[in-house]
């Protein structure tokens, strides 16, 4: 089961954060947003299909995030958690930790923004469109 989110890169994408990655529906990005990979996301967690959300609320679920931008692609793998609510209407966050809030779409991810391929990050900083596909098994 998949959810696909499309967003835009931005000149302030630095992808330096060591424990999270994020897409936001906001139309701006300040240099402080070092986990944000894309802005103007066309979907947010509150809009995800109920069946997808339910599948992600299983702590045994494997969640895969595939990021594609500027001809580059990377995959981040994490897991679900019963505490994930998918209620946020502004952004989604993947986390390397077990912390959960209403933005969380995966925990115990095997990578964060700071781990991403720098060619992908440069494409995002140049404004490339980004597609994030979240898959749950």
SS3 of 80, please?
Answer: coil
Alpha helices by DSSP H, the chain: 50-56, 118-125
Which CATH number characterizes residue 18's domain? Answer: 2.60.120.630
For 132, the domain range is: 2-136
Phi and psi at residue 6, to the nearest 5°: -115, 140
SS3 of 66, please?
Answer: strand
pLDDT at position 49, please? Answer: 97
Beta-carbon contacts of 112 under 8 Å, excluding residues fewer than 6 positions away, are: 17, 18, 19, 20, 21, 35, 94, 95, 96
The total of structural domains in the chain comes to 1
**Bridge-based pairing state of the strands 104-106 and 91-95:** parallel
- pTM value is 0.96
pLDDT in tens, the chain (137 residues): 999 999 999 999 999 999 999 999 999 999 999 999 999 999 999 999 999 999 999 999 999 999 999 999 999 999 999 999 999 999 999 999 999 999 999 999 999 999 999 999 999 999 999 999 999 99
> Are 105 and 41 spatial neighbours (Cβ–Cβ below 8 Å)?
no
């Amino acid at each position: 089961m998949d959810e696909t989110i499309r967003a835009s890169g931005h000149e302030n994408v630095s992808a330096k954060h060591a424990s999270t990655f994020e897409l936001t529906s906001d139309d701006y990005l300040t240099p402080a947003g070092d986990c944000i990979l894309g802005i103007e996301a066309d979907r947010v967690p509150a809009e995800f299909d109920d069946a997808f959300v339910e599948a992600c609320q299983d702590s045994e679920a494997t969640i895969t995030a595939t990021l594609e931008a500027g001809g580059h692609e990377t995959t981040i793998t994490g897991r679900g958690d019963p505490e994930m609510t998918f209620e946020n209407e502004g952004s989604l966050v993947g986390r390397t930790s077990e912390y959960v809030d209403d933005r969380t779409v995966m925990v115990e991810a095997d990578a964060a923004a700071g781990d991403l391929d720098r060619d992908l990050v440069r494409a995002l900083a140049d404004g490339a469109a980004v597609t994030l596909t979240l898959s749950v098994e």
